[in-house]
Amino acid sequence: MTPVRVLAVASEVYPIVKTGGLADVAGALPIALKAHGVEMRTLMPGYPDVMRLVSGAAELRTWPDYFGGPGRLLAGSHEGLDLFVLDVPHLYARPGNPYVTSEGVDWPDNGVRFAALSRVAADIGHGLVPTFVPDVVHAHDWQAGLAPAYLHYDNRPRPATVMTIHNMAYQGKFAPELIGAIGLPWGAFNVNELEYFGGISFLKAGLQFADRITTVSPTYAREIQSDEGGMGFGGLLRARASVLSGILNGIDISVWNPQDDPHIAYRYGAEDLTFRAANKAVLQQQFNLDSSDEAPLLGVISRLSWQKGLDLLLEAIPTILREGMQLALLGSGDRDLQDRYQAAARANPGRIGVVIGYDEILAHLLQAGSDALIVPSRFEPCGLTQLCALRYGAVPIVSRVGGLEDTIVDVGEADASGRDATGFKFAPVTAEALAGSLRKANTAFHDKPTWRRLQRNGLATDVSWRGRAGEYAALYRDLMTSRA
Ligand code: ADP
Ligand code: GLC
């Protein structure tokens, strides 16, 4: 196996900084790739949490003026991850969420902040760090989208480039004036290069110039080539269809392991699910729900945004109540949704429990104690919580979109590849269809052998990164061969 060196570029990496699934992927993939002969190092911004956690940081390079202030490039590591950290205090030394202020609005200089990250990625691509000259630069989402663009405009021999789309909805749009400030040529401001509806888009830059484009499920790879699913990039992606593919995400099965999970009340293995009931009892207490083993407990762990379709679940609450089910929701995001869920909990004590916030530990308990996990997304590039649910014996109830379509096998269908049923899928993505699926799940829940079978099939599903990392390794190798 030829060894391959890959520089990954990501704006969040679990367990250091996380706002969503991107961090999970960026944190797990490098470790899984080791078995495939890929040496991956990850470049990320030096936010305060990064500066605090990264150990053994060695200074590789300093700049007196990097995009308006002093900057340094460090190499360090954390929990098995090899990192390059771009420490530029005037851009990244800000507490809290990496993208928005404490009022929840985008930092006004996000364009410069993430251009700076991509600029150094391109320079590492050109050999800035002689001990690690990458064969491939792998950019994740819009925050890293300029890396392939800088490498293109630098017009020098360069490593191969891969752009991975985790979510088309975040496009990194900025005013055209930024072009000069971030050192890109003014000539790039046209629709075949960076221009996007009168401004520029970092995501477009990546999609335009990367040698390969991937996204996180085969179904999403198809959906984004349509005008609706492409959210403005359908045409571009149709034109680049020959270099676009979908590779499903996995989860880190050592972090998500019910046999050995420090965050759940009672640990259990796939062969004996009796302790799930004890976790359910603890969960009911924590969410102020009536203690009852007989009431099916539906769980949700999610960002509260339009994408996730949780307004539809609010509309389905009458069905949940009528069917004698309970709901435990952990989430944060849109103010309006937060308020409406809290109101629903107040109106239905003992039946609807809501925790607003971001709580990694509670997320594990929810997986271990819920009977079913609901993901009613309008679109979902891959989705990770349904994969965790399979691993914990919670039965997923999901909409039939993106990665949810690819990872869950519906009770009513024999999967073409011969996979056994693992959950419930509904379409179209409406409150009525969701309610229909909740009713079906309730019937199945009360038929114990059927429910056990669904749980067992889920627990037997491989949700790990093993095979999926192999697909990335094959992609990198293929790129190297085709460019040689
Ligand atoms: P997305 O990246 O679109 O938010 P994913 O399903 O890919 O969706 O990943 C979400 C990740 O964030 C999962 O690891 C999930 O457990 C976690 N998560 C989401 N919301 C919360 C929350 N409120 N508290 C704890 N973890 C959360
Ligand atoms: C995005 C998507 C989600 C995906 C995650 C990791 O945030 O919304 O579906 O699982 O990225 O790829």
Domains of the chain and any CATH numbers:
4-250+466-483 (3.40.50.2000), 276-459 (3.40.50.2000)
Q: Is 145 in the pocket of ligand 1 (CB under 6 A)?
A: no
Cβ(248)–Cβ(407) below 8 Å: yes
User: For ligand 2, atom 7, which residue shows the shortest CA distance?
Assistant: 21
Q: How far is the CA of 302 from the centre of ligand 2 (A)?
A: 11
pTM higher than 0.95 for the full model? yes
Q: Pick the closest to residue 162 from 141, 189, 184, 186 (CA basis).
A: 141
Q: Is 356 in the pocket of ligand 1 (CB under 6 A)?
A: no
Q: Is 331 in the pocket of ligand 1 (CB under 6 A)?
A: yes
Q: How far is the CA of 324 from the centre of ligand 2 (A)?
A: 32
Which ligand 1 atom is the nearest neighbour of the CA of 22?
Answer: 2
Name residue 453's amino acid.
R
Cβ(403)–Cβ(465) below 8 Å: no
Q: How far is CA 402 from CA 216, 223, 405, in A?
A: 9, 7, 6
- Average pLDDT of adjacent 10-residue blocks, the chain of 484 residues: 93 96 98 97 97 89 98 96 98 96 94 98 98 98 98 97 98 97 96 96 98 98 97 98 98 97 96 94 98 98 97 98 98 97 98 97 98 98 98 98 98 77 98 98 97 96 97 97 84
Cβ neighbours of residue 250 closer than 8 Å, sequence gap 6 or more: 28, 32, 387, 463, 464, 465, 466, 467, 468, 469
Q: Pick the closest to residue 250 from 402, 401, 44, 27 (CA basis).
A: 27
β-sheet with 173-174: strand ranges across: 173-174, 199-201, 195-196
User: For ligand 1, atom 2, which residue shows the shortest CA distance?
Assistant: 21
Q: Pick the closest to residue 115 from 81, 153, 142 (CA basis).
A: 142
Q: Pick the closest to residue 396 from 425, 364, 430 (CA basis).
A: 425
User: What is the per-residue pLDDT for 419?
Assistant: 82
Q: Are strands 199-201 and 173-174 parallel, antiparallel or unpaired?
A: antiparallel
Which ligand 1 atom is the nearest neighbour of the CA of 166?
Answer: 2
Torsion over CA of 123, 128, 133 and 139, rounded to 10 degrees? Answer: -30
Exposure on the CB side of residue 226, measured as CA atoms within 13 A:
8
Structure-token pair, residue 117: 């990250």
User: For ligand 2, atom 10, which residue shows the shortest CA distance?
Assistant: 383
Question: Ligand 1, residues 24, 168, 256: which to mutate, most atoms within 8 A of Cβ?
Answer: 24
User: For ligand 2, atom 1, which residue shows the shortest CA distance?
Assistant: 166
Cβ(170)–Cβ(141) below 8 Å: yes
Cβ neighbours of residue 444 closer than 8 Å, sequence gap 6 or more: 395, 411, 424, 450, 451, 454
Phi, psi of 312 (to 5 degrees): -70, -35
Work out the number of other CB atoms within 10 angstroms of the CB of residue 280. 27
**C-alpha–C-alpha distance, residues 78 and 98, integer Å:** 19
Q: Are strands 212-215 and 55-63 parallel, antiparallel or unpaired?
A: unpaired
User: What is the per-residue pLDDT for 416?
Assistant: 66
**C-alpha–C-alpha distance, residues 353 and 348, integer Å:** 8
User: What is the per-residue pLDDT for 418?
Assistant: 73
Partner residues linked to 138 by β-bridges? 8, 162
Nearest-ligand number for the alpha carbon of 165: 2
Cβ(10)–Cβ(144) below 8 Å: yes
Cβ(162)–Cβ(138) below 8 Å: yes
Question: Ligand 2, residues 18, 167, 231, 249: which to mutate, most atoms within 8 A of Cβ?
Answer: 167
User: For ligand 2, atom 3, which residue shows the shortest CA distance?
Assistant: 383
Query: 3-state SS of 371-402?
Result: CEEEECCCCCCCCCHHHHHHHHCCEEEEECCH
Cβ(312)–Cβ(319) below 8 Å: no
Cβ neighbours of residue 27 closer than 8 Å, sequence gap 6 or more: 13, 14, 15, 16, 18, 81, 252
Q: What three-state secondary structure class fits 207?
A: helix
C-alpha 240 chain-centroid distance: 23
Q: Are strands 173-174 and 244-246 parallel, antiparallel or unpaired?
A: unpaired
Q: How far is CA 293 from CA 229, 283, 355, 424, 456, in A?
A: 41, 11, 21, 21, 19
Provide the total of helices (H) and of strands (E) in the chain, helices listed first: 19, 18
Structure-token pair, residue 210: 């990367």
Structure-token pair, residue 215: 């996204």
**C-alpha–C-alpha distance, residues 408 and 412, integer Å:** 12
User: What is the per-residue pLDDT for 1?
Assistant: 75
